[in-house]
């Protein structure tokens, strides 16, 4: 079997275009312009790239977008006071603090100060609780798992009764992914670094979500015939075949061997990554719509 390649990049482009149209409609009908504030502390090159692409996507979606860049020796107090101002600013519907923060700043103190209804990353304990309690319609859902779910549903349709194995138990990806799959009535296993006989656990999965951070760890002979494989991992490895000192990005799944067994699989790059930014835009539009008293849109059903 050769797997269908799930083109996350194309689906994310489609989703961003839908969001841009819906933002335009919202502005015309209510005068509410979706607003997002991205806060970055320090000069981490990878963080700067992420923040720049989020700002660009926001502009393309017709949003009001502001960036606050703080020096890496900024005090925690100054950062908390900025979050307080953004919480009170009616032009801002979504607040995102780019992680990681410098060591002298208490990350959870900062994230917990963000108003839950403006928490477009979905990391606030209120949003974690709502998602876990099955109240997704009131929660802000973390972007990477929400994007991964859209990709799985596009190829599989109804997920009810499917065996799903999520490898990784982080708060950002693994745990919310498991909560989303459970809400779709999957039978969910969360595997992690202490799981015994991981290949065997994965062999029982109709849906595999790999969020580990270990390059090409999941091998083809772990994959059940026809399974849907969602590779969240982003790992940079040496690529001497491209020239001296060159590198390339790979996922947590060994794509070539897994594609021989899987029914469908996301590539890295071009799979889950672009969906994450698109879902950040979707969450911002959702926050703006909720502020105007409007219902949530079902983005997955609006894609072409």
Active-site residue, selected from the candidate residues 117, 121, 206, 254: 121
User: Does 25 help bind ligand NAD (rule: CB under 6 A)?
Assistant: no
Q: Is 257 helix (H, G, I), strand (E, B) or coil?
A: helix
DSSP per-residue codes, 112-179: HHS-GGGBTT--SHHHHHHHHTT-TTTSPPPHHHHHHHHHHHHHHS--TT-EEEEE---TTTHHHHHH
Q: Name the one range near ligand NAD by CB under 6 A: 52-60, 121-129, 201-209, 228-236.
A: 228-236
Interface pick for ligand NAD out of 174, 176, 263, 267 (rule CB under 6 A): 174
Catalytic status, residue 89: no
User: Does 19 help bind ligand NAD (rule: CB under 6 A)?
Assistant: no
In the complex, the smallest distance separating the C-beta of residue 27 from ligand NAD, rounded to whole angstroms, is 28
What character string, x for contact with ligand NAD (CB under 6 A) and - otherwise, covers 260-279?
Answer: ------------xx--x---
**Cβ–Cβ < 8 Å for 144, 232:** yes
Interface pick for ligand NAD out of 69, 187, 235, 291 (rule CB under 6 A): 235
Cβ neighbours around 288 below 10 Å, total: 25
Tokens representing residue 154 in the block: 């596009």
DSSP E strand stretches across the chain: 4-5, 35-41, 64-70, 94-97, 163-167, 187-191, 207-210, 228-231, 235-238, 247-250, 264-265
User: Does 198 help bind ligand NAD (rule: CB under 6 A)?
Assistant: yes
Give 112 or 195: the residue with its C-beta nearer to ligand NAD. Answer: 195
User: Does 54 help bind ligand NAD (rule: CB under 6 A)?
Assistant: no
- Which 8-state DSSP code applies to residue 296? P
Given the rule CB under 6 A, which residues bind ligand NAD?
144, 167-170, 172-174, 191-193, 195, 198, 211-214, 232-235, 272-273, 276
**Catalytic (active-site) positions:** 54, 98, 121
């Amino acid at each position: 079997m050769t797997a269908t390649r799930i083109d996350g990049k194309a689906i994310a482009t489609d989703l961003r275009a839908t969001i841009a149209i819906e933002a335009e409609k919202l502005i015309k009908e209510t005068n509410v312009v979706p607003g997002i504030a991205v806060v970055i502390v320090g000069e981490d090159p990878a963080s700067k790239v992420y923040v720049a692409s989020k700002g660009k996507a926001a502009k393309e979606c017709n949003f009001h977008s502001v960036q606050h860049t703080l020096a890496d020796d900024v005090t925690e107090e100054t950062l908390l006071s900025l979050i307080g101002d953004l919480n009170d600013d009616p032009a801002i519907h979504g607040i995102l603090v780019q992680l990681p923060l410098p060591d002298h700043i208490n990350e959870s103190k900062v994230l917990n100060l963000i108003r839950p209804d403006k928490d477009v990353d979905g990391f606030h304990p209120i949003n974690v609780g709502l998602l876990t309690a099955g109240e997704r319609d009131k929660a802000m859902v973390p972007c990477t798992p929400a994007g991964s779910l859209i990709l799985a549903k596009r190829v599989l349709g109804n997920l009810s009764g499917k065996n799903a194995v999520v490898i990784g138990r982080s708060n950002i990806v693994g745990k919310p992914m498991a909560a989303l799959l459970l809400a779709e009535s999957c039978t969910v296993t969360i595997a992690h670094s202490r799981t015994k006989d991981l290949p065997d656990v994965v062999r029982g999965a109709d849906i595999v979500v790999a969020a580990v951070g270990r390059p090409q760890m999941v091998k083809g002979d772990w994959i059940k015939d026809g399974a849907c494989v969602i590779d969240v991992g982003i790992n940079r490895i040496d690529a001497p075949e491209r020239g001296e000192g060159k590198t390339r990005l790979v996922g947590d799944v060994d794509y070539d061997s897994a594609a021989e067994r899987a029914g469908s699989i996301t590539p890295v790059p071009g799979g889950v990554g672009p969906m994450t930014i698109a879902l950040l835009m979707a969450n911002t539009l959702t926050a703006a719509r909720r502020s105007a008293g409007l219902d949530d849109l079902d983005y997955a059903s609006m894609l072409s």
